[in-house]
Amino acid sequence: MAAKTDDSGPVIPPAIESAWGLRERPPKGPRPGLSVPTIVDAAVRVADADGLAAVSMSRVAKELGAATMALYRYVSAKDELLMLMVDTGYGPSPGPPPPEHDWRAGLTRWAWAEHEVLRHRSWLLHVPITGPPITPQQLGWLEDGLRCLDATALAEGEKMSALLLITGYVRNEATLTSQIAEGSRAAGIAPGEVMPAYGRMVARLIDPARFPALHRVLTAGVLTQDDDPDDEFTFGLDRILDGIEALIHRRAA
């Protein structure tokens, strides 16, 4: 029940203060040899090169020519580093939608932009998410997504839900795609062979009497053929946008 004199509103965790650049350096003491952005950049470099599993405090420190424990002067725990990595890993949002775009074109662009980021930074998918977006870049993405829906008659809460739906879809699709890529690397087979091999394995395991619908899918050759992943992505995205469109029409009526 200590009467803490905190008139500054809700407490902001140090990790988030770091991300927003709100931490001012105390004037005393030796000059820091490192900085939070330097450390985060090094960690991102490691993740880009060798995946998220390679990001250990010692590895990042080695990347910087510093000692492991030196990092803890800048970052209170590894989780904090991960959070900052996500922020810089996503990078700046694609910007507000061009004026000639309607909401659908805008959100399509928005979704593809995230898709693109996740495609060549798949380690972002492996960082355990610990809460709603709060870092600057992430809120930037959110802002740009909301702007796409500015002209619609959706309620504010519905806009948020719609965006949540889309990001969730993009992340999910990216997760599946990157799993196939990682699986092919692990098994040492060509990326185009992963799904066919999967299909053959399922075919061997299931009893057609117990799994008739699944059997039908297999005999239709759905898993055997090697689809363009971009088509798959477009398909799901269009379904979701169709669903949102139906709601927008209803609200506009």
Query: Which residues are near DNA by CB under 7 A?
Result: 25-34, 55-59, 66-70, 72-74, 77-79
Tell me which of DNA, its own copies, none is bound by residue 120, counting a contact when its beta carbon lies within the kind-specific cut-off of 5 to 8 angstroms. none
For residue 221, report the phi and psi dihedrals to the nearest 5 degrees: 75, 20
218 vs 203: CA distance, rounded Å: 7
Q: Which of 161, 181, 191, 229 binds its own copies (CB under 8 A)?
A: 161
Q: What does 56 interact with, of its own copies, DNA, none (CB < 5 to 8 A by kind)?
A: DNA
Q: How far is the CB of 172 from DNA (least distance, A)?
A: 27
126 binds, among its own copies, DNA, none (CB under 5 to 8 A by kind): its own copies
CA angle 129, 175, 239 (to 5 degrees): 105
Contact set for its own copies, span 196-235 (CB under 8 A): 197-198, 200-202, 204-206, 210-214, 216-217, 220, 222, 227, 232, 235
> Is residue 20 close enough to count as binding its own copies by CB under 8 A?
yes
245/149 Cα distance (integer angstroms): 11
CB of 40 to DNA, least distance (A): 14
Site for its own copies (CB under 8 A): which residue of 27, 131, 188, 253? 131
Cα–Cα distance list, 129 to 10, 85, 175, 179 (Å): 22, 12, 14, 18
Q: Do 195 and 217 contact (CB within 8 A), yes or no?
A: no
